[in-house]
Amino acid sequence: MNKRIKIFIIFWFVFSWLIIVGFSLKYIGITNTLKQIFNSLFRYMFPPKSITLCDFETPQDFTDWRWKDVFMEPSSDYVYRGNYSAKITYYASSPLASLILENYDIGPKGYKDWSFFKFFKFVVINPSDKEIPLHIKIKDISAREIERVFYLKDKENKITLELEEIGQFVDLTQIVYLNFYLTGLKEDTTIYLDALHLERGDLKEKRILNKPVINLIKINLPKETKRQKSFTLSFWLSTSKELKYDYNIFVHISYFKEINKKPIERKYYINADQLPSIPTSQWKVNFPYEIGPLNIFIPKEFPAGEYFIQIGLFNPQSHGTYYKYSSYKGMLDFRSGFARLNYTDPKIKNFIVGKIKVLD
């Protein structure tokens, strides 16, 4: 058979199957998922200056929301951008009237990864002359959440949430839930919402919170100890930038065979978490702070062998569940129950800073 004919047959066979697969993917709904993956890769390579999450210009902008004791409709009144805003009436009969936008697969309106942006912005118009406390709740896929309250003055209110601050509590790469709610209403209350969007602003780095900030200066740890005995542990930490929040210190001692398990699943495990004597929000930059000496007792039932020492800072106000694909690079590691601050030293893996041998 002619070589050109062979090539043509092979090409036609491959092309035909691509068409069949394409139609099959569209039929079972995977095309949208592939589209989201492509868009995510494109946004990673070329982060846009802004992304509109919702501007209430299409019917889908309304049907994507979940209403709870709320009525929402398009309005040509109090429009900030485009032709329409969302007129939202919260009913006083509800203790917690909510307007919820969520998608646990691809994020609200198809944008799960907010880490390329510096601000989350939107506009709220209060048509009354009474101040309205609007609550905003944001969640990531691991059920971590952060809530803020904005007191709406009459007429136009331009709201800005700084994502660097939000990102200390929730994983910005996995945002799945937004809730705009009012509580304790004595009468039905109407507001107008418009122009929900993300902005990069003057963000110089590709992703926000892109750099680790914790330094392990020194650690005093014996090479070995015995069961039913205590050993003394001291260590010194510093930060390369100011911390705005108060972090706690975790000190975990784990049997080497269990180090890859979740802490809750470890049998031979010691939790010696600490509160720093000086709150981390008061720590001076590049100044070493000593933690310890701590006396760690090894119980009789613990087997002999190597034990790993994991040490670091965690945010006690950022508790969530385990999620395999949580963000762990940059300033924060979200792979465990609490958000943990990463070390600047890339040689420190999984917060393991040392090991000790336990003898019989």
Q: Are 130 and 152 in contact (CB under 8 A)?
A: no
87 pLDDT more than 60: yes
Q: Are 97 and 90 in contact (CB under 8 A)?
A: yes
Instruction: Assign 306 a pLDDT band (cuts: 50, 70, 90).
Output: very high
Instruction: Assign 89 a pLDDT band (cuts: 50, 70, 90).
Output: very high
> What distance in Å separates the CA atoms of residue 337 and residue 59, rounded to the nearest whole number?
38
> What distance in Å separates the CA atoms of residue 304 and residue 274, rounded to the nearest whole number?
26
Res 44: pLDDT = 66
Instruction: Assign 277 a pLDDT band (cuts: 50, 70, 90).
Output: very high
24 pLDDT more than 60: no
Res 360: pLDDT = 87
Helices (H), the chain: 3-28, 30-45, 60-63, 163-166
> What distance in Å separates the CA atoms of residue 197 and residue 336, rounded to the nearest whole number?
30
Res 262: pLDDT = 86
Higher pLDDT, 11 or 353: 353
Instruction: Assign 6 a pLDDT band (cuts: 50, 70, 90).
Output: low
Res 47: pLDDT = 80
> What distance in Å separates the CA atoms of residue 85 and residue 199, rounded to the nearest whole number?
20
Instruction: Assign 240 a pLDDT band (cuts: 50, 70, 90).
Output: very high
pTM of the model: 0.85
Q: Which fold has domain 47-199?
A: Jelly Rolls (2.60.120)
**Coil, strand or helix: which one is 40?**
helix
Res 22: pLDDT = 59
> What distance in Å separates the CA atoms of residue 97 and residue 93, rounded to the nearest whole number?
9
pLDDT in tens, 29-71: 555 556 556 666 666 677 889 999 999 999 999 999 999 999 9
Instruction: Assign 250 a pLDDT band (cuts: 50, 70, 90).
Output: very high
216 pLDDT more than 70: yes
> What distance in Å separates the CA atoms of residue 273 and residue 165, rounded to the nearest whole number?
24
Res 51: pLDDT = 95
Q: Indicate the domain borders of the chain.
A: 47-199, 214-359
pLDDT in tens, 137-190: 999 999 999 999 999 999 999 999 999 999 999 999 999 999 999 999 999 999
Q: What is the mean pLDDT of the chain?
A: 91
Do the domains 47-199 and 214-359 sit in the same CATH topology, yes or no?
no
Through-space distance between the first and last CA atoms of the chain, rounded to whole angstroms: 77
> What distance in Å separates the CA atoms of residue 126 and residue 260, rounded to the nearest whole number?
52
User: What residues pair up with 230 in beta bridges, in sequence order?
Assistant: 297
Res 46: pLDDT = 75
Give the containing element (helix H, strand E) for 176: strand 175-183
Write down the architecture of domain 214-359 according to CATH: Sandwich (2.60)
**Coil, strand or helix: which one is 137?**
strand
Mean pLDDT is lowest, of 8-22, 66-80, 295-309, for 8-22
9 pLDDT more than 80: no
pLDDT in tens, 98-148: 999 999 999 999 999 999 999 999 999 999 999 999 999 999 999 999 999
Residues composing the chain: 360
Instruction: Assign 263 a pLDDT band (cuts: 50, 70, 90).
Output: confident
The average pLDDT across 197-207 equals 93
Mean pLDDT is lowest, of 13-17, 101-105, 338-342, for 13-17
> What distance in Å separates the CA atoms of residue 224 and residue 356, rounded to the nearest whole number?
5
Res 43: pLDDT = 65
